[in-house]
Amino acid sequence: MNLPSHPPLPIPAHLSEAARQFLTQPPPTQAPSLPEREDTDGWLRLVEQTDGYIRAWLADRALPSPVAAQDTQVAGVHTYVLRAEGDTATDEGPIYLDIHGGALLYGGGDLCAHSCTETALNTGMTTWSIDYRMPPLHFYPAALDDCLAVYQALLKVRDPADVFVGGASAGGNLAAALLVRAKDEGLPMPAALVLRTPEVDLTESGDSFHTNAGIDNVLSSLREVNELYANGYDLSHPYLSPLFADLSGFPPTFLQSGTRDLFLSNTVRMHRKLLSAGVEAELHVFEAMPHGGFGGTSPEDAELAAAVRDFLDRHRRRL
């Protein structure tokens, strides 16, 4: 999909130097050339190439302390258990179930452990990272089935008050869809939910898909990838687009986006929907922030991490 051409936007002078530098990077001019729907080998090559970019980017990120990742199986689903150095969590401590992003297509395998290491550091909790199945070999509902299986297994070893669920971007889609489906199946809700710039509307019907197209310098439309993932199912189904679900009974929810984020409408609409359902929900919108933040190294990114930690600490059961 060709994106509209916009003149360069002024970069707000009050942003940090790191944020301003990140915004100098040009936005994508158009969505990448994608294989035909039936071209499995073509999609596999695209995933390999994109995962290579992600791996190189993560390799340049210096984390403040190491994180140990245990490679394991939970309910038959490949899962990583991550603990920060010095983590003194006991068998009774809270667990954060982190669902990685990546357009419902990228970031699998060891990348899901690498991308969730900051979650283990920032939350102060033992973190389970689900390596859920993805296209082009596995389509909906495989990823959601995996998330549900791990969530059910987690509930067998932790009280729901000690379970937290979160995800960013595509991970936010699956985190929200997981709770919609868990509620439908009579499972208890976790203590809280964290949705960072969540992809909760695969139909891309929100205003910011137009107003921020070509302005977000990280993300462009994912509509073709969404259709690949859905594999013929209606994109507006609540398990695919949880924005359209009945959200009553959801736990307290943290939502985050930025004014240049293509998914801004997803986030603010989800916030209003939660409030209308009587759910405690707080919204954090950051000035000039594109999808996913300013690269993870700016003061604004640190402020976001601190806000998430504060939210979790306020909903963490005191042992």
pLDDT in tens, 16-62: 999 999 999 988 655 557 999 999 999 999 999 999 999 988 877 66
State both tokens at 174: 């699956």
CA 69 to CA 62: how far, in whole Å? 17
Q: From residue 278, give the alpha-carbon distance in Å to each of 241, 246, 272, 273.
A: 20, 11, 10, 9
CA 253 to CA 37: how far, in whole Å? 35
**Which residues is 2 bridged to in the sheet?**
30
User: Which residue from 183, 191, 185 is spatially nearest to 166, judged by alpha carbons?
Assistant: 191
pLDDT in tens, 196-252: 999 999 999 999 999 999 999 999 999 999 999 999 999 999 999 999 999 999 999
User: Which residue from 125, 67, 89 is spatially nearest to 311, judged by alpha carbons?
Assistant: 125
Q: From residue 256, give the alpha-carbon distance in Å to each of 169, 193, 219.
A: 10, 12, 16
**Confidence (pTM):** 0.95
Please give the domain boundaries of the chain with CATH numbers for all domains: 41-315 (3.40.50.1820)
Burial class (CB in 10 A: 0-12, 13-18, 19+), 151: buried
